[in-house]
Amino acid sequence: MERESATLETGAIPRSDVGPFDLQATLESGQSYLWDRPDGRMYDSLSAHGGDAWYETVVPPIDGVSDEQVVVRVRQCDDAIEWEATTDPVPLLTHLLRLDDDLDAILDATPDLPLLERAYDRYRGMRLVRDPPFACLISFICSAQMRVARIHEMQRRLAHDYGETVSVDGRQYHAFPTPDQLAAATESALRELKLGYRAPYVQRTAEMVADGEAHPARAADLDYEAARDYLTQFVGVGDKVADCVLLFSLGFLEAVPLDTWIQTAIADHYPDCDRGSYRETSRAIREQFGGAYAGYAQTYVFYYLRAGGAA
Protein backbone atom coordinates (compact mmCIF):
# COMPACT_ATOMS: atom_id res chain seq x y z
CA MET A 1 0.00 0.00 0.00
CA GLU A 2 1.91 2.99 -1.18
CA ARG A 3 0.85 6.09 -2.91
CA GLU A 4 2.79 8.98 -4.38
CA SER A 5 1.46 12.39 -3.43
CA ALA A 6 2.21 15.88 -4.56
CA THR A 7 4.83 17.98 -2.84
CA LEU A 8 4.11 20.16 0.15
CA GLU A 9 2.69 23.63 -0.17
CA THR A 10 3.56 26.11 2.56
CA GLY A 11 1.78 28.97 4.25
CA ALA A 12 0.92 30.58 7.55
CA ILE A 13 -2.03 31.60 9.66
CA PRO A 14 -1.44 34.96 11.40
CA ARG A 15 -1.76 34.78 15.16
CA SER A 16 -4.16 37.66 15.04
CA ASP A 17 -6.63 35.42 13.17
CA VAL A 18 -6.98 32.85 15.93
CA GLY A 19 -6.66 34.52 19.34
CA PRO A 20 -4.99 32.71 22.24
CA PHE A 21 -3.33 29.53 21.03
CA ASP A 22 -0.79 27.01 22.40
CA LEU A 23 0.06 24.29 19.89
CA GLN A 24 2.21 22.22 22.24
CA ALA A 25 -0.39 22.16 24.99
CA THR A 26 -3.10 21.35 22.47
CA LEU A 27 -1.26 18.39 20.96
CA GLU A 28 0.67 17.06 23.97
CA SER A 29 -2.01 17.29 26.64
CA GLY A 30 -3.32 13.78 26.09
CA GLN A 31 -6.30 14.66 23.93
CA SER A 32 -4.95 13.42 20.62
CA TYR A 33 -2.51 10.60 19.98
CA LEU A 34 -2.53 11.04 16.21
CA TRP A 35 0.21 13.66 15.73
CA ASP A 36 3.96 13.11 15.72
CA ARG A 37 6.94 15.32 16.45
CA PRO A 38 9.63 14.53 13.87
CA ASP A 39 12.20 15.60 16.46
CA GLY A 40 11.12 12.58 18.48
CA ARG A 41 10.38 14.57 21.62
CA MET A 42 6.62 14.02 21.79
CA TYR A 43 5.68 13.75 25.51
CA ASP A 44 9.41 13.75 26.37
CA SER A 45 9.17 16.50 28.91
CA LEU A 46 5.78 17.61 30.10
CA SER A 47 6.78 21.06 31.17
CA ALA A 48 9.59 21.83 28.73
CA HIS A 49 8.78 24.56 26.29
CA GLY A 50 7.87 23.07 22.93
CA GLY A 51 9.10 26.21 21.24
CA ASP A 52 8.66 26.07 17.52
CA ALA A 53 8.65 22.29 17.14
CA TRP A 54 6.97 20.82 14.07
CA TYR A 55 4.03 18.46 14.46
CA GLU A 56 2.74 16.29 11.62
CA THR A 57 -0.06 13.88 10.81
CA VAL A 58 -2.03 12.32 7.98
CA VAL A 59 -5.68 13.29 8.07
CA PRO A 60 -8.36 11.15 6.45
CA PRO A 61 -11.18 12.73 4.42
CA ILE A 62 -13.63 14.49 6.73
CA ASP A 63 -17.23 15.19 5.71
CA GLY A 64 -17.79 18.83 4.99
CA VAL A 65 -14.17 19.78 5.60
CA SER A 66 -11.93 17.97 3.13
CA ASP A 67 -12.72 15.28 0.60
CA GLU A 68 -9.23 13.85 0.36
CA GLN A 69 -6.44 12.57 2.57
CA VAL A 70 -4.08 15.37 3.62
CA VAL A 71 -0.52 15.24 4.90
CA VAL A 72 -0.05 18.25 7.12
CA ARG A 73 2.79 19.66 9.22
CA VAL A 74 2.39 22.63 11.54
CA ARG A 75 4.41 24.67 13.99
CA GLN A 76 3.80 27.70 16.13
CA CYS A 77 6.00 30.75 15.74
CA ASP A 78 5.83 34.11 17.46
CA ASP A 79 3.45 35.76 15.06
CA ALA A 80 1.97 32.91 13.03
CA ILE A 81 1.05 29.26 12.78
CA GLU A 82 3.19 27.97 9.93
CA TRP A 83 2.02 25.01 7.88
CA GLU A 84 3.20 22.64 5.17
CA ALA A 85 0.62 20.41 3.54
CA THR A 86 -0.35 18.51 0.42
CA THR A 87 -3.26 20.89 -0.05
CA ASP A 88 -4.38 24.14 1.60
CA PRO A 89 -5.00 22.93 5.17
CA VAL A 90 -6.43 26.08 6.74
CA PRO A 91 -10.05 24.88 6.89
CA LEU A 92 -8.79 21.48 8.05
CA LEU A 93 -6.54 22.92 10.78
CA THR A 94 -9.39 25.16 11.88
CA HIS A 95 -11.50 22.04 12.27
CA LEU A 96 -8.90 19.77 13.92
CA LEU A 97 -7.56 22.36 16.37
CA ARG A 98 -10.85 24.17 16.98
CA LEU A 99 -9.35 27.47 15.88
CA ASP A 100 -12.93 28.65 15.40
CA ASP A 101 -13.63 28.49 19.15
CA ASP A 102 -13.77 31.84 20.91
CA LEU A 103 -11.45 30.71 23.68
CA ASP A 104 -11.63 33.89 25.73
CA ALA A 105 -15.41 33.72 25.75
CA ILE A 106 -15.37 30.03 26.71
CA LEU A 107 -12.94 30.53 29.59
CA ASP A 108 -14.83 33.60 30.76
CA ALA A 109 -18.03 31.56 30.84
CA THR A 110 -16.61 28.98 33.25
CA PRO A 111 -17.13 29.29 37.00
CA ASP A 112 -14.61 31.00 39.25
CA LEU A 113 -12.94 28.03 40.90
CA PRO A 114 -9.35 28.30 42.15
CA LEU A 115 -8.22 25.07 40.52
CA LEU A 116 -9.65 26.11 37.15
CA GLU A 117 -8.12 29.56 37.42
CA ARG A 118 -4.67 28.10 37.98
CA ALA A 119 -5.00 25.61 35.12
CA TYR A 120 -6.27 28.27 32.73
CA ASP A 121 -3.50 30.67 33.67
CA ARG A 122 -0.84 28.03 33.15
CA TYR A 123 -1.95 26.80 29.74
CA ARG A 124 -4.07 29.61 28.32
CA GLY A 125 -4.26 29.05 24.60
CA MET A 126 -4.77 25.30 24.76
CA ARG A 127 -7.63 24.21 22.53
CA LEU A 128 -9.70 21.09 22.51
CA VAL A 129 -9.11 18.98 19.41
CA ARG A 130 -11.49 17.46 16.87
CA ASP A 131 -9.87 14.15 16.01
CA PRO A 132 -11.24 11.92 13.23
CA PRO A 133 -13.84 9.69 14.96
CA PHE A 134 -12.55 6.20 14.17
CA ALA A 135 -8.94 6.96 15.06
CA CYS A 136 -10.06 8.73 18.22
CA LEU A 137 -12.16 5.72 19.22
CA ILE A 138 -9.27 3.30 18.74
CA SER A 139 -6.83 5.64 20.50
CA PHE A 140 -8.90 5.76 23.64
CA ILE A 141 -9.65 2.04 23.64
CA CYS A 142 -5.87 1.73 23.80
CA SER A 143 -5.67 4.29 26.61
CA ALA A 144 -6.98 1.99 29.34
CA GLN A 145 -4.46 1.77 32.20
CA MET A 146 -1.74 3.23 30.00
CA ARG A 147 0.64 6.18 30.09
CA VAL A 148 0.20 8.86 27.45
CA ALA A 149 3.58 8.25 25.81
CA ARG A 150 2.74 4.59 25.38
CA ILE A 151 -0.74 5.28 24.04
CA HIS A 152 0.91 7.47 21.42
CA GLU A 153 3.43 4.75 20.64
CA MET A 154 0.62 2.24 20.07
CA GLN A 155 -1.06 4.52 17.53
CA ARG A 156 2.26 4.97 15.73
CA ARG A 157 2.68 1.22 15.50
CA LEU A 158 -0.86 0.73 14.25
CA ALA A 159 -0.31 3.36 11.55
CA HIS A 160 3.06 1.93 10.59
CA ASP A 161 1.88 -1.68 10.32
CA TYR A 162 -1.70 -1.31 9.06
CA GLY A 163 -2.16 2.17 7.56
CA GLU A 164 -1.42 3.48 4.10
CA THR A 165 2.10 4.72 3.49
CA VAL A 166 2.23 8.10 1.78
CA SER A 167 5.39 9.51 0.21
CA VAL A 168 5.78 13.26 0.04
CA ASP A 169 8.96 15.04 -0.97
CA GLY A 170 10.89 11.81 -0.49
CA ARG A 171 9.63 11.26 3.02
CA GLN A 172 7.19 8.61 4.14
CA TYR A 173 4.15 9.25 6.30
CA HIS A 174 1.76 6.66 7.71
CA ALA A 175 -1.97 7.22 7.76
CA PHE A 176 -4.02 5.78 10.59
CA PRO A 177 -5.56 2.50 9.41
CA THR A 178 -9.10 2.44 8.08
CA PRO A 179 -11.67 0.22 9.84
CA ASP A 180 -11.22 -2.38 7.08
CA GLN A 181 -7.45 -2.39 7.45
CA LEU A 182 -7.62 -2.75 11.22
CA ALA A 183 -10.42 -5.32 11.17
CA ALA A 184 -8.10 -7.54 9.12
CA ALA A 185 -5.53 -7.62 11.93
CA THR A 186 -5.38 -10.60 14.25
CA GLU A 187 -5.44 -10.40 18.01
CA SER A 188 -2.01 -11.98 18.29
CA ALA A 189 -0.53 -9.55 15.76
CA LEU A 190 -1.93 -6.64 17.74
CA ARG A 191 -0.53 -8.11 20.93
CA GLU A 192 2.86 -8.08 19.26
CA LEU A 193 2.39 -4.33 18.89
CA LYS A 194 2.23 -4.21 22.70
CA LEU A 195 -1.49 -3.54 22.90
CA GLY A 196 -1.85 -6.18 25.59
CA TYR A 197 -5.41 -7.05 26.58
CA ARG A 198 -6.65 -4.17 24.42
CA ALA A 199 -5.75 -6.10 21.26
CA PRO A 200 -9.05 -8.01 20.91
CA TYR A 201 -11.00 -4.86 21.82
CA VAL A 202 -9.38 -2.95 18.96
CA GLN A 203 -9.83 -5.74 16.43
CA ARG A 204 -13.46 -6.39 17.31
CA THR A 205 -14.38 -2.71 17.41
CA ALA A 206 -12.71 -2.17 14.02
CA GLU A 207 -14.74 -5.10 12.72
CA MET A 208 -17.99 -3.57 14.02
CA VAL A 209 -17.24 -0.33 12.17
CA ALA A 210 -16.01 -2.09 9.02
CA ASP A 211 -19.15 -4.23 8.90
CA GLY A 212 -21.38 -1.19 9.22
CA GLU A 213 -22.83 -2.45 12.49
CA ALA A 214 -22.13 0.91 14.11
CA HIS A 215 -19.97 3.98 13.55
CA PRO A 216 -18.69 6.42 16.17
CA ALA A 217 -19.70 9.40 14.02
CA ARG A 218 -23.34 8.34 14.35
CA ALA A 219 -23.25 9.34 18.01
CA ALA A 220 -22.97 12.98 16.91
CA ASP A 221 -26.66 13.03 16.02
CA LEU A 222 -27.78 12.04 19.52
CA ASP A 223 -28.22 13.92 22.79
CA TYR A 224 -25.20 13.83 25.07
CA GLU A 225 -26.06 10.93 27.37
CA ALA A 226 -27.65 8.91 24.56
CA ALA A 227 -24.50 9.49 22.51
CA ARG A 228 -22.39 8.17 25.37
CA ASP A 229 -24.57 5.08 25.67
CA TYR A 230 -24.34 4.55 21.90
CA LEU A 231 -20.54 4.50 22.00
CA THR A 232 -20.37 1.96 24.81
CA GLN A 233 -21.62 -0.71 22.41
CA PHE A 234 -18.09 -0.89 21.01
CA VAL A 235 -15.87 -3.48 22.61
CA GLY A 236 -13.47 -1.96 25.10
CA VAL A 237 -15.53 1.21 25.42
CA GLY A 238 -17.06 2.11 28.77
CA ASP A 239 -18.38 5.46 29.97
CA LYS A 240 -14.95 7.06 30.34
CA VAL A 241 -13.64 6.20 26.87
CA ALA A 242 -17.02 7.15 25.39
CA ASP A 243 -16.74 10.58 27.02
CA CYS A 244 -13.26 11.02 25.53
CA VAL A 245 -14.57 10.34 22.03
CA LEU A 246 -17.50 12.69 22.56
CA LEU A 247 -15.20 15.46 23.79
CA PHE A 248 -12.11 15.05 21.60
CA SER A 249 -13.80 14.07 18.36
CA LEU A 250 -17.53 14.70 18.23
CA GLY A 251 -17.74 18.19 19.68
CA PHE A 252 -19.65 17.47 22.89
CA LEU A 253 -17.91 20.17 24.89
CA GLU A 254 -19.98 19.34 27.97
CA ALA A 255 -18.46 15.84 28.25
CA VAL A 256 -16.22 15.34 31.31
CA PRO A 257 -14.28 12.07 31.12
CA LEU A 258 -13.91 10.75 34.68
CA ASP A 259 -10.33 9.50 34.57
CA THR A 260 -8.01 8.91 37.51
CA TRP A 261 -6.80 12.53 37.56
CA ILE A 262 -10.26 14.03 37.56
CA GLN A 263 -11.39 11.55 40.20
CA THR A 264 -8.48 12.72 42.33
CA ALA A 265 -9.49 16.32 41.71
CA ILE A 266 -13.06 15.50 42.73
CA ALA A 267 -11.87 13.83 45.93
CA ASP A 268 -9.53 16.72 46.78
CA HIS A 269 -11.56 19.72 45.66
CA TYR A 270 -15.18 18.80 44.95
CA PRO A 271 -16.06 15.86 47.24
CA ASP A 272 -19.77 16.70 47.04
CA CYS A 273 -19.65 15.76 43.36
CA ASP A 274 -18.82 12.14 44.14
CA ARG A 275 -22.22 10.52 43.75
CA GLY A 276 -21.08 6.91 43.55
CA SER A 277 -22.05 6.08 39.98
CA TYR A 278 -20.31 7.39 36.87
CA ARG A 279 -23.55 8.78 35.49
CA GLU A 280 -24.44 10.83 38.56
CA THR A 281 -20.92 11.95 39.39
CA SER A 282 -20.56 13.02 35.78
CA ARG A 283 -23.70 15.12 36.03
CA ALA A 284 -22.50 16.74 39.24
CA ILE A 285 -19.00 17.67 38.07
CA ARG A 286 -20.39 18.81 34.74
CA GLU A 287 -22.59 21.25 36.59
CA GLN A 288 -19.71 22.28 38.87
CA PHE A 289 -17.58 23.04 35.78
CA GLY A 290 -20.22 25.21 34.19
CA GLY A 291 -22.25 22.91 31.96
CA ALA A 292 -21.86 23.62 28.26
CA TYR A 293 -18.04 23.97 28.28
CA ALA A 294 -17.29 21.66 31.20
CA GLY A 295 -15.10 19.55 28.92
CA TYR A 296 -12.72 22.48 28.41
CA ALA A 297 -12.38 22.75 32.18
CA GLN A 298 -11.78 19.00 32.47
CA THR A 299 -9.02 19.05 29.90
CA TYR A 300 -7.21 22.01 31.46
CA VAL A 301 -7.42 20.41 34.91
CA PHE A 302 -6.27 17.04 33.57
CA TYR A 303 -3.19 18.52 31.90
CA TYR A 304 -2.45 20.81 34.85
CA LEU A 305 -2.55 17.98 37.40
CA ARG A 306 -0.78 15.43 35.21
CA ALA A 307 2.02 17.87 34.43
CA GLY A 308 2.53 18.39 38.15
CA GLY A 309 1.13 21.89 38.09
CA ALA A 310 -0.41 21.44 41.51
CA ALA A 311 2.99 20.78 43.11
Partner DNA sequence: TATCCAAGGTAAGTT
Partner DNA sequence: AACTTACCTTGGATA
Return residues touching DNA (CB under 7 A): 29-31, 143-148, 150-151, 191, 194, 196-198, 201, 232, 234-242, 244, 257, 259-262, 276-277, 298-299, 302, 306
Amino acid symbol at 227: A
Residue (54 or 278) nearer to DNA, CB: 278
Q: Are the C-beta atoms of 161 and 200 separated by less than 8 Å?
A: no
Instruction: Give the single-character DSSP code of 197.
Output: G
Q: What is the DSSP string of 234-266?
A: STT--HHHHHHHHHHTS--TT-----HHHHHHH
Q: Give least dist CB 279 to DNA, A.
A: 8
Residue 120 to residue 302: CA distance in whole angstroms: 11
The backbone region for 118, taken as left when phi is positive above 0, alpha when psi lies in -120 to 50, beta otherwise, is: alpha
Residue (53 or 305) nearer to DNA, CB: 305
Q: Give least dist CB 86 to DNA, A.
A: 28
Residue (21 or 304) nearer to DNA, CB: 304
Q: Give least dist CB 220 to DNA, A.
A: 19
Q: Give least dist CB 201 to DNA, A.
A: 7
Residue (77 or 226) nearer to DNA, CB: 226
Neighbours of 30 (CB within 10 A): 23
Q: Give least dist CB 158 to DNA, A.
A: 15
